[in-house]
Amino acid sequence: MTDLDAAVNEIADEMRRRPDRGEVAAYIPELARVDPGAFGLVVIAADGHVAAAGDCDTPFSIQSISKVFTLTLALGMVGDRLWRRVGREPSGSPFNSIVQLERERGVPRNPFINAGAIAVTDLILSGHQPREALGEILRFMQFLARDASITIDEAVAASEQRTGFRNIALANYMKSFGVVDNPVDYTLGVYFHHCAISMSCRQLATAGRFLAHSGRDPETGLSVVQVERARRINAVMLTCGHYDGSGEFAYRVGLPGKSGVGGGILAVAPGRGSIAVWSPGLDASGNSHLGRAALERLTKRLGWSIFGL
C-alpha cells in the first residue's frame, strides 16, 4: 500500500465514523432520498495510480459539477467571447440568488452560479436542438471519463424540472435582458438534464484529470484544452467553485474545486492529481460538509495545497 492509498483509506474511515454529516438537498425531491451515510473518495495521481475508498463506484447526481465541463465546451466553441455573457468574479451570494442579477442588468457574476451556468448552457444550445446539445455534453463527459456507460438520471432531471421555479425565474430574467437567446424552456431543459448526469467518484476523478495536467489527458497525451485555458478554468474554480463558500474552501483546502448539491466535489491539484469525493450531506452554502473536511485532511497530509505546505 502506498502513502497515497493509506491516506485515502484512513480519511475515508474517519469520515464514515463522523456523526456531523450535514443535510441532504431536500428541495430536489429525488436527492432527498439519497443515503446521508454514503461516502466515497478517489485520488488519481499524476502517474495514473488510483487510490480509492468507500462508496467510490456508486453513481450520484453530479449537479453543478457539470458546470466545469459545460464551461470547457462553451470556451471551445466561442473562446473568450463567452465572457461577454457571463463574468468571472465571485458572487458572495447563494447559488440561486436573483439579487445580483437585477443589479447587473441580467449578466451573471460567474459561470458556476445557476444563472451563469444557464447562460453558458444557452450558448451551447445555440444552433442545435436541445437533444443534440445535451448529447454533445454527455458525450464529452463520457470521452473524458473514458466510460460510455455514464448516463443522465431521468428521475432527477424530471424532479428538477417540476420544482426548479427559481431557475425558471433566473432564466426568464436573463431573457428579458437578451442574455439568453433560445426559448427558455429549451435552455432549461438542457440545463436540468446535464445537472442530472450520474457519475461515480472514480469516473469523475478521471474526467477531471485534464485540468490537473495543463489541459492534457496524461495517459493518452491528447490535448483537451490549451494550457492557458486549463489554468483559467482552474482559477475560476478556485474563486467561484463553491458559491458563497468559495473563500472558506480555498482557505481550508487550497485547491481549485467545484461542488454540487448532490454532495460531490471535484478538486484539482495541478501537476499532482485529480480528486473526487462524495458525501450527500451539505453545509449552509450547499457544499458537501464531509467532502470539504476530507479534502482539507488530504491536502494537509499530502502537502498538495497550491498555497504551499
- Among all residues, which ones are annotated catalytic? 64, 67, 191, 243, 261
Supply angle C-alpha 211, 217, 220, rounded to 5: 175
Beta strands in 57-177 (DSSP E): 60-61, 151-152
216, 224, 270, 275 alpha-carbon torsion, rounded to 10°: -110
Q: How far apart are CA 187 and CA 291, in angstroms?
A: 30
Tell the residue number behind the cell numbers 466545469, with chain if given. 68
Are residues 114 and 107 in contact, defined by beta-carbon separation less than 8 angstroms?
no
Structural contact between residues 255 and 267, judged by C-beta atoms closer than 8 angstroms: yes
Beta-carbon count within 10 A of 217 CB: 16
Interatomic CA distance for residues 7 and 225, integer angstroms: 31
Q: How far apart are CA 3 and CA 169, in angstroms?
A: 49
Give the cell for residue 264.
460531490
Site of grid cell 487510490: 51
Question: Residues with Cβ < 8 Å from 60, sequence gap 6 or more?
Answer: 34, 38, 198, 199, 200, 262, 263, 264, 278, 280
